[in-house]
Amino acid sequence: MSIEQKRFHTGLPENLTDRFANRALGMKASEIRSLFAVASRPDIVSLAGGMPNLTALPMEVMAEVVNKLIQDNGAEALQYGSGQGHPKLREQICDVMALEGISAHPDDVIVTTGSQQALDLITRIFIDPGDVILVEAPSYVGALGTFKQYQAQVVHVEMDQNGLIPQALRNAISQIKKSGRKIKFIYLIPNYQNPAGVLLSADRRTEILEICHSEQIFVVEDNPYGLLGFDRPSPNAMRAEDSENVIYLGTFSKTIAPGFRVGWALVPQSLKEKLVIASESSILCPSNFSQLSISSYLSDQPWRAQIASFTKLYKVRKDAMLESLEKYFPKGTSWTKPEGGFYVWITLPPEIDTNALMPKAIVAKVAYVPGTAFYADGFGTWSMRLSYCYPTPERIKEGVKSLGAVITEEMERRQLI
Amino acid sequence: MSIEQKRFHTGLPENLTDRFANRALGMKASEIRSLFAVASRPDIVSLAGGMPNLTALPMEVMAEVVNKLIQDNGAEALQYGSGQGHPKLREQICDVMALEGISAHPDDVIVTTGSQQALDLITRIFIDPGDVILVEAPSYVGALGTFKQYQAQVVHVEMDQNGLIPQALRNAISQIKKSGRKIKFIYLIPNYQNPAGVLLSADRRTEILEICHSEQIFVVEDNPYGLLGFDRPSPNAMRAEDSENVIYLGTFSKTIAPGFRVGWALVPQSLKEKLVIASESSILCPSNFSQLSISSYLSDQPWRAQIASFTKLYKVRKDAMLESLEKYFPKGTSWTKPEGGFYVWITLPPEIDTNALMPKAIVAKVAYVPGTAFYADGFGTWSMRLSYCYPTPERIKEGVKSLGAVITEEMERRQLI
C-alpha cells in the first residue's frame, strides 16, 4: 500500500495509525453522513431522523419548571450528584416503569446520559473482543455502533411482523455454541421496534425469556417507545416477568424531551456495582440539572396526559404515512404497519439498492435511512426506514409521494413493473 | 478458594464471574466509599470532596437565564443536538480558552459530559490493555479510575513544588522503552494540580512539551482550575505552545457550575473524527439543554466577574486552611502552598498510614482523602489531600484543628514527636 493510499484510508498522518488502540482503527464516519448533512436542508422532507416532535410540549410550562427548580434548589441542581443518579428521580422512574407492569426498587436503577450511555456501559462490562451479541434483524443503528466499538461480533436473528422469531433464536444460539463463541447478551427493542416498527407479541416475550434464561444469556430490553402505543397499551415489559436475567433500558427522550439526556438502566442487583463504577469512570455523574428538571416536571405536571398528547400527534402522522404509502408506492413494495412509535420499515424488490437510490431521493427532495444502516453485516440493501415522527402530515404526504415516484421510476428502469 | 470467599470477593453469584468482560473483573467499589458516606453527615467537616462552592453563584440570574432559554429557544434546547457539541458554544469555548493564550478553531472542540467523558474517550481511542500512560505522582483519582478501566499500565512520574520534574520524565520514558511497552500519552494537570495543589512552572511546560514531541507521546493537559489563580494568572496553557501534540481538556464545572456537566476537549485535527464517533457511541450527543444554558449565560452575563468572585471566595478559604495548618499541625508534617485551585497536599512521617487514620478522623468529626487514592500503585500511605473549596473558613479551621489533634496523638503514640 502506498503512502497516499494509507493517508486516504485513515485520514491521518502516517505515523498516527499505530498509536491508536485496536478498537479505534475501525472508527470512521459513515459515507452516509455527508448525505444527511444535505438532508437537513429545509427544502427537503426528512423521513430519515428519529427526532421526537416537541410541538406538543408546553414550553411555557417547561420554562417555569426549571426556573422554579433553580430558584428553590439551585445549590443542589447545579452541583455534582450521585454517580448512580438522584435518589428522588430513581423513585419516580420506578413509578413510570410500573405503567408497563414492572415492579422495581430505586436501588437497582442507574440514571444515564440518555439510554445510549446505558448501552455503552453494559457493553463495557460484558464484551471482550470477539464475544457475540444477538440482535434483531434489523436493529437500532446506535446500538450497532456501540457494539462495534467494543469489538463484539453481532449476530442478527430473524424477525417477522410479530417481532423476533423464537425458533430463529434457538437456531442461532445452537450454531454459535457449536463454533465455540460466547454469547453475552441479546439486545431487543420489543415495542414498536427501531427500525422495523413491529411489536413483539406477549407469548413470544415469554418464550424468548425462557430460552435466554436456560442458556444464561442476558436480555437487554431497550424500551424507548413502550408508552407510545396508538390504540392500546403495549404488552407488559419483559422485565416485568423476569427480574434476574433482564437488563431494562428506559429514557425520557420520547416521553418528555431528548435535550435533557436522561435515560436509565434497571439492572439485576448482581450487576449494579460494576455498572455504577463504569458510569463514574465514563462521566463521573449524570447531570443534576437535567435529572432534577425531569424530577420536578414529573412531580408537578400532568406527565401522563402529556404522553397521551404525544401519542395522538404521532398517530396522526402514522396514518398520513400509511395512507400515502398505499397511494404512492408501487406494487412490489411492502411495509410494516406500526401500532406505536416512530417508524415504518419498507421492503423493495431485491434488485433495488437503497444506498444507490439515496442521491436520487435527495434530488426529489426527500430523505430516508437505507436499510444497511441497521445491519452489522451489509444486509438490508433493498430496505429502508421511514420516520413519521417529526414532519407535519402534509409534509409526510409530500415526501412519500416524491419517494414513491423515485422508486417507481427505478423499478420501471429495471423492468420490475 | 471456597465458594463463600469467591462470593465475598466479587459480590456476585458464582456463575456470573466468567460472563463479564476482562476489563470488568477489576471494577470494585473502593473500601473508602463507606467512610465517605459517613463523611457526608452534616456534623462532620469534610475536607475530602472537591465540590465547587456555589454560594457565590447568583441563583436568581441562573434561573432567569434558563427560563428565557426555554421560552425563546425551547424547541432547540430540548431536542437532540450535534454529537460534537453545539456550534455556538464551541465558539464561546474558544473565547474562554483565549484567556490562557490558546488560539483555537471551534471545529477542533468536542463538547463532553464533563471533562471526565473526554478522559474516557481519549483513553478509549488510544489504549489497548497493557499500554502505558504517564501521570504525575500523585494524580487525579478520577483519571486513574478511567485508565484502570481500559487496562492501561499507569506509571507515575515524580513532581516537586514546581510540578512534574522533566528529568524524571526522561528517566521514566527511557526505562519504559527498554521494557518494550508503548507509551500512549502523558496526563498532566499543570495548574493547581489535583491533588498536589502545585503549579507547573512555565519553563518546565516548554521542556516537557519538547520531550513529548520528540518521543511522539501525546500530552493530555487537563485544566479545570487554570482560571482560579489567587494573585496572578497561571502561565499560558501548554496547548498555547503546541497545537499538534497536546489534547486539552476544559470544563465549566469550576467556573460556572458542575451540575450542567459541560466540559470539552480541544484536540489536534487528526484525532477529531475518532473522538466524535467514540462520543456518539457513548452518549449519542451532549445535552443541548445544558450546553445552551451555559451558552446563554456566557452571552448575557458577566462571566469573567463571576470567575473573579469564585477566586476571591477560594482564596479566603485557602488562607484559612494554611493558617490553621501552621497553628494546629505538629512538627514533622509538611504541606504545599497552592496559588490557586482547591487543594493542599499533606505529607506526614512515613510511619503514619492515612488509611488507618481515617476512622479516627471521622470520630473527631473531620474527613480527608488518603493519599493512596491518588496513586495507581499503592504509594501515598503517609500523605493526604485536604480540600478547602467547600466549607466555610470557620469550619475549615475547626476541621484542621481536629485533624491536627488526631495526627499529633498518632505521632505521639508512635513516639514520632
Residue A83 in domain: yes
B67 to A64: CB separation less than 8 angstroms, yes or no:
yes
Nearest CA to A196 among A160, A166, A145?
A160
Cβ-contact A138, A375 below 8 angstroms: yes
Side-chain-side CA neighbours of A403 within 13 Å: the count stands at: 30
Q: Which of A117, A131, A259 sits opposite B282 (nearest CB)?
A: A117
Of B300, B329, B349, which residue constitutes the final position of a domain? B300
B284 and B402 share a domain?
Answer: no
A41 and A89 share a domain?
Answer: no
Residue B17 in domain: no
A241 and A316 share a domain?
Answer: no
**pLDDT band for position A236 (50/70/90)?**
very high
**Cα–Cα–Cα angle for A227, A228, A232, nearest 5°?**
85
B131 and B156 share a domain?
Answer: yes
- Position A17 scores a pLDDT of 77
B70 to A66: CB separation less than 8 angstroms, yes or no:
yes
| Range(s) of the domain holding residue A319 | 21-50+306-413
Please give the share of chain B, as a percent, with pLDDT higher than 70. 95
A292 and A318 share a domain?
Answer: no
* Residue A106, helix vs strand vs coil: helix
Residue A87 in domain: yes
- The two beta strands, B183-188 and B218-222, are parallel
- The two beta strands, A383-387 and A369-370, are antiparallel
Cβ-contact A149, B278 below 8 angstroms: yes
Q: Which of B57, B145, B259 sits opposite A280 (nearest CB)?
A: B145
Q: How big is the A-B interface in CB pairs under 8 Å?
A: 256
Per-residue pLDDT tens digits for A49-76: 899 999 999 999 999 999 999 999 999 9
Per-residue pLDDT tens digits for A3-43: 333 333 333 455 677 899 999 988 887 766 776 777 778 89
CA distance B263 to B318: 25
Q: Which residue of B has its CA nearest to A218?
A: B19
Per-residue pLDDT tens digits for A364-410: 999 999 999 999 999 999 999 999 999 999 999 999 999 999 999 99
- Position B31 scores a pLDDT of 64
Residue A69 in domain: no
Instruction: Name every chain A residue with its beta carbon within 8 A of the beta carbon of B277.
Output: 27-29, 145, 149
A359 and A249 share a domain?
Answer: no
- A170 interface with B at CB cutoff 8 Å: no
Q: Which of B74, B127, B259 sits opposite A78 (nearest CB)?
A: B259
The enclosing domain of A364 has a CATH number of 3.90.1150.10
Q: Which of B78, B131, B258 sits opposite A79 (nearest CB)?
A: B258
- Position B5 scores a pLDDT of 34
Cβ-contact B290, B258 below 8 angstroms: no
| Number of structural domains in chain A | 2
Q: What is the ipTM of this complex?
A: 0.94
CA distance A349 to A347: 7
- Position A328 scores a pLDDT of 98
* pLDDT digits (tens), chain B, 417 positions: 333 333 333 334 556 778 999 999 888 877 667 767 777 788 999 999 899 999 999 999 999 999 999 999 999 999 999 999 999 999 999 999 999 999 999 999 999 999 999 999 999 999 999 999 999 999 999 999 999 999 999 999 999 999 999 999 999 999 999 999 999 999 999 999 999 999 999 999 999 999 999 999 999 999 999 999 999 999 999 999 999 999 999 999 999 999 999 999 999 999 999 999 999 999 999 999 999 999 999 999 999 999 999 999 999 999 999 999 999 999 999 999 999 999 999 999 999 999 999 999 999 999 999 999 999 999 999 999 999 999 999 999 999 999 999 999 999 999 998
Residue B328: phi and psi, rounded to 5, are -110, -15
Nearest CA to B251 among B226, B278, B218?
B226
Cβ-contact B135, B154 below 8 angstroms: yes
Confidence check: pLDDT of A224 > 50: yes
- A60 interface with B at CB cutoff 8 Å: yes
B216 to A15: CB separation less than 8 angstroms, yes or no:
yes
A262 and A130 share a domain?
Answer: yes
Using CB atoms and an 8 Å cut-off, which of residues 332-361 of chain B contact chain A?
A: none
- Position A106 scores a pLDDT of 98
Alpha carbon distances (Å) from B121 to A150, B83, B115, B116, B282:
13, 13, 10, 9, 8
Cβ-contact B44, B362 below 8 angstroms: yes
- Position B32 scores a pLDDT of 66
A143 and A291 share a domain?
Answer: yes
- Position A18 scores a pLDDT of 83
The enclosing domain of B154 has a CATH number of 3.40.640.10
- A57 interface with B at CB cutoff 8 Å: yes
**Cα–Cα–Cα angle for A139, A219, A191, nearest 5°?**
50
- Position A396 scores a pLDDT of 98
A131 and A275 share a domain?
Answer: yes
**pLDDT band for position A142 (50/70/90)?**
very high
Q: Which of A21, A120, A284 sits opposite B281 (nearest CB)?
A: A120
Residue A10 in domain: no
B74 to A62: CB separation less than 8 angstroms, yes or no:
yes
A59 to B51: CB separation less than 8 angstroms, yes or no:
no
Q: Which residue of A has its CA nearest to B14?
A: A270
- A62 interface with B at CB cutoff 8 Å: yes
- Position A15 scores a pLDDT of 67
Nearest CA to B66 among B285, B298, B287, B294?
B294
* Residue B5, helix vs strand vs coil: helix
- A28 interface with B at CB cutoff 8 Å: yes
- Position A32 scores a pLDDT of 66
- Position A13 scores a pLDDT of 52
Of B300, B334, B360, which residue constitutes the final position of a domain? B300
B218 and B343 share a domain?
Answer: no
Instruction: Name every chain A residue with its beta carbon within 8 A of the beta carbon of B131.
Output: 21
Q: Which residue of B has its CA nearest to A252?
A: B78
Instruction: Name every chain A residue with its beta carbon within 8 A of the beta carbon of B15.
Output: 216
Residue B9 in domain: no
CA distance B354 to B351: 10
Residue A12 in domain: no
What average pLDDT does the segment A276-289 reach?
96
Q: Which residue of A has its CA nearest to B78?
A: A259
- A216 interface with B at CB cutoff 8 Å: yes
Instruction: Name every chain A residue with its beta carbon within 8 A of the beta carbon of B62.
Output: 70, 74, 78
Residue A71 in domain: no
- Position B9 scores a pLDDT of 36
Element (H, E) at A133: strand A132-137
DSSP per-residue string spanning B134-182: EEEES--HHHHHHHHHTTPEEEEEEEETTEE-HHHHHHHHHHHHHTTPP
A272 and A222 share a domain?
Answer: yes
Per-residue pLDDT tens digits for A331-374: 999 999 999 999 999 999 999 999 999 999 999 999 999 999 99
Q: Which of B68, B259, B270 sits opposite A289 (nearest CB)?
A: B259
Of B271, B300, B329, which residue constitutes the final position of a domain? B300
B224 and B283 share a domain?
Answer: yes
